Amino acid sequence: MAVYVVRRLLIAVSVVVAVSFGAFVGFGLSFDPTYPLVAGGGHAQTRALVQAYYHLNDPIVERYWRWLVGFFHHGFGRTVSLDVIGPPPRVRTPGDPIGPRLWHAAGITAQLLAASLVLVVAGSALVGTIAARRRRFRVDVSTRAVAYFAAAVPTFMIGDLLARLLVPNETLTTGTNGRLTLQTSGGEWFLIGPPSGGVVGWIRHMTLPVLALTISLVGIYARYIRTALQTAFTEPFVTVARAKGLPERRVIVRHALRTSLVPFTSLLSLEMGGIVGASIAVDAVFNLGGLASTFLTSLTQGDPFELTALLVIAAILVCAFTFVGDLVVGLLDPRIASTR
């Protein structure tokens, strides 16, 4: 098991390093954060000063190596500052620190992912088990129909519908005296915005985003649980367990479902990148202040250092949750850990 864990850690670190190089090269060659200095009628000399200060004209590999070495001393560094004063012309401030804001945003996205994945596993197991036990009955057909519908609707649309139905909406209306009054309609329990206010505030802000992400994913993965359970019910170990007189609930939970969770967890780990992408869409709909909001701000500024840091943090999230999924697979079936 130790070799299995170390190997997975090395793979995760290699993926993060590869993503950092690709992101730095791509953003470094595509974006020029000094463009506003000349677009607004500024001087080319000022632009050249900023480019020289941040080594923006150096070879891209040399710039990446400098960034990578600096990462171990200063983290993600600072954003590109266009605040130039003079004479003599010089950069007055080195920019804002990148790390604190991005790590805070990553923490919100990680909370959304963790809460959603717990509900996805529980919901998929429940829906898949009911559908597999009631095969071709009304319960199975209706359950699969709901799952297919949830999987067909985009995640951001589910989030938008939940927000419209359950979040208070403020509208201006004209009263009998001709004055405009502000009226609030909709629910009062859920709010849009970054989570705040302790546990209660976290629940009020995060419940709908978690539900939106969970509904879309349960509709997809419950089908895999159902198919895996149907296969497990025909295996000899299930037949032997029933022949020994074990209760049906124990046969399903301790034997058939545990075996079915192995391919389900592996598939969930492989598709973690898409799940993180769906969480970013939900983040944008509910304005949680996670990676989506940070990405949109960084994209408008065209800062290659901040965009690279954002993509690296997203890769770290994907690798972290994938690593946890691999550990769960190894615990569910120790034979996998001994052969990989």
Domain residue ranges in the chain = 2-91, 107-333
Burial class (CB in 10 A: 0-12, 13-18, 19+), 88: exposed
**Angle, helix 138-152 to helix 99-133, in steps of 10 degrees:** 160
Q: What is the mean pLDDT of residues 25-46?
A: 79
In this predicted structure, which of 1-5, 11-15, 185-189, 272-276 has the lowest mean pLDDT? Answer: 185-189
- pLDDT band, residue 185 (cuts 50/70/90): very low
Largest CA distance in the chain: 90
Question: What does the pLDDT average to over 151-162?
Answer: 82
Helix, strand, coil percentages (3-state) for the chain, rounded to 5, are 75, 5, 20
d(Cα 201, Cα 206) in Å, to the nearest integer?
8
Query: Tokens for 200?
Result: 């209660």
Q: What is the mean pLDDT of residues 181-199?
A: 67
d(CA 251, CA 254): 6
User: What average pLDDT score do residues 222-245 get?
Assistant: 84
Mean pLDDT in residue range 194-206:
84
pLDDT of 246-275, one tens digit each?
888 888 888 888 888 888 888 888 888 888
The residue that leads in pLDDT, 60 or 139, is 60
Position 187 scores a pLDDT of 55
Q: What is the rounded distance in angstroms from the CA atom of residue 130 to the CA atom of residue 218?
A: 13
| Spatial distance between the Cα atoms of 114 and 252, rounded to a whole number of angstroms | 26
**Superfamily designation of domain 107-333:** MetI-like (1.10.3720.10)
What is the arithmetic mean of pLDDT over 78-97?
A: 77
* 328 has a pLDDT exceeding 90: no
Residue 64 or 193, more confident: 64
Is a pLDDT exceeding 80 seen at residue 179?
no
Q: What is the pTM of this model?
A: 0.78
CA–CA dist 69, 20 (Å, integer): 13
Whether 191 has a pLDDT exceeding 60, the answer reads yes
Looking at residue 180, its pLDDT comes to 40
Question: Coil, helix or strand for 174?
Answer: strand
Q: Mean pLDDT over all residues of the chain?
A: 81
